[in-house]
Amino acid sequence: MQKISLAIHGGAGTILKEDMTSELEQAYLQGLQSALSAGYAILEGGGTATDAVKLTVEILEDNILFNAGCGAVFTKEGTHEMDAAIMSGKDLTAGAVAGVSNIRNPIALAAEVMRNSDHVFLSGNGAFDFALRQGFSTVPDDYFFSQFRYDQWIQIRNSDTYALDHSKESESTTIKDKKFGTVGAAACDREGNIAAATSTGGMTNKKFGRIGDTPMIGAGNYANNNTCAISCTGHGELFIRAVAAYDVSCLMEYKGLSLQAAMNEVVNNKLVKIGGEGGMVGVDAAGNMALLFNSEGMYRGAKSSDGTDFVRIYKEG
């Protein structure tokens, strides 16, 4: 019988138990569990992998703890510019948006691009106009307001530095507390089809319309039934340079590596060599899963019909 599975993440980085209150830890675990349970219910009910990852990411976007959707960080101008991508491994269809504002669930807009446009990637005002044409309702700027994110932005808004999600120091210094708040999911359904979805608010105090790896097919998100579905979280510039998600697929397709081995090569070797910190979650068409990261922790969870069922935060062992 075909194994169904869902792997999710809510960001990676220097996530240490000693820096976390028990209340906040529980809130993160509950947020991950809610998204994991809802997405898996889609698969269990015979739904598609694409629908499962879309719903999973929407729920994470609706949780203010994560740097996506309502929890998105502030840009240099004090606004919110969000990126998202989704891809179906069955037919290699994909949709992505970058630099969108006032859209509650950017992943839903990315899915709309995939399903109801002749394009793959829309950005900025064009993506917003497409959303309106497709009947999306908008939300006001204050929907995305978080006191925590605002205070973080205030600390560095008058500088030319940026912060990686909720780090305590800027990228221009030696960072002890790097955290990458991208959210994402990868799933395998009862038909053996796989899909991946990823969404982010980017970097605090980002400027010049900066775009990371999240909406770039092959960099932060990729799915192909012949190999794998991958969703990444990390320092976007390095994941772009490494074409990280597609590199996992290539290692599986051209070198015959397993999902676990291919992801390990990219996360713990290739990315490390160029200073790329973060992680990724992945599935293959047999329903196998892997959740790997080279940072101190990664908000993550996995559930499968083989009995696997967990949500975790910290590095094990």
Return the H-helix or E-strand segment holding 116: helix 106-116
Asked whether residue 92 carries a pLDDT value surpassing 70, the answer given is yes
The pLDDT of residue 19: 83
The 10s digit of each residue's pLDDT in 38-58 is 999 999 999 999 999 999 999
The pLDDT of residue 209: 84
Asked whether residue 169 carries a pLDDT value surpassing 60, the answer given is no
The pLDDT of residue 316: 82
How far is it, in rounded angstroms, from Cα 183 to Cα 83?
11
C-alpha closest to that of 34 among 60, 15, 68, 65? 60
289 in Cβ contact with 302 (< 8 Å): yes
146 in Cβ contact with 190 (< 8 Å): no
181 in Cβ contact with 67 (< 8 Å): yes
Asked whether residue 170 carries a pLDDT value surpassing 80, the answer given is no
The pLDDT of residue 167: 42
- How much is the average pLDDT of 125-154? 91
- Which of the two residues, 250 and 210, has the higher pLDDT score? 250
CATH number of residue 38's parent domain? 3.60.20.30
The pLDDT of residue 166: 41
- How much is the average pLDDT of 175-197? 85
The pLDDT of residue 56: 98
The pLDDT of residue 203: 80
The values of phi and psi at residue 38, to 5°, are: -65, -45
Q: Tell whether the torsion through CA atoms of 110, 34, 264 and 175 is positive or negative.
A: positive
pLDDT averaged over the chain? 91
Total domains present in the chain: 1
- How much is the average pLDDT of 89-102? 97
pLDDT category at 208 given cuts 50, 70, 90 is confident
C-alpha closest to that of 216 among 240, 181, 247, 249? 240
The pLDDT of residue 171: 39
The 10s digit of each residue's pLDDT in 216-253 is 999 999 999 999 999 999 999 999 999 999 999 999 99
pLDDT category at 178 given cuts 50, 70, 90 is low
Could you list the residue range(s) of the whole structural domain that residue 310 is in? 5-314
Using a 10 angstrom Cβ sphere, with 0-12 exposed, 13-18 middle and 19 or more buried, the burial of residue 22 is exposed
> SS3 for 136?
coil
Could you give the residue numbers annotated as active site?
182
The values of phi and psi at residue 256, to 5°, are: 75, 20
The values of phi and psi at residue 42, to 5°, are: -60, -45
Instruction: Tell me the whole-structure pTM to 2 decimals.
Output: 0.93
Question: How far is C-alpha 24 from the chain's CA centre?
Answer: 20
CA dihedral 201→214→261→189, nearest 10 degrees, is 90
How far is it, in rounded angstroms, from Cα 219 to Cα 241?
8
The pLDDT of residue 179: 64
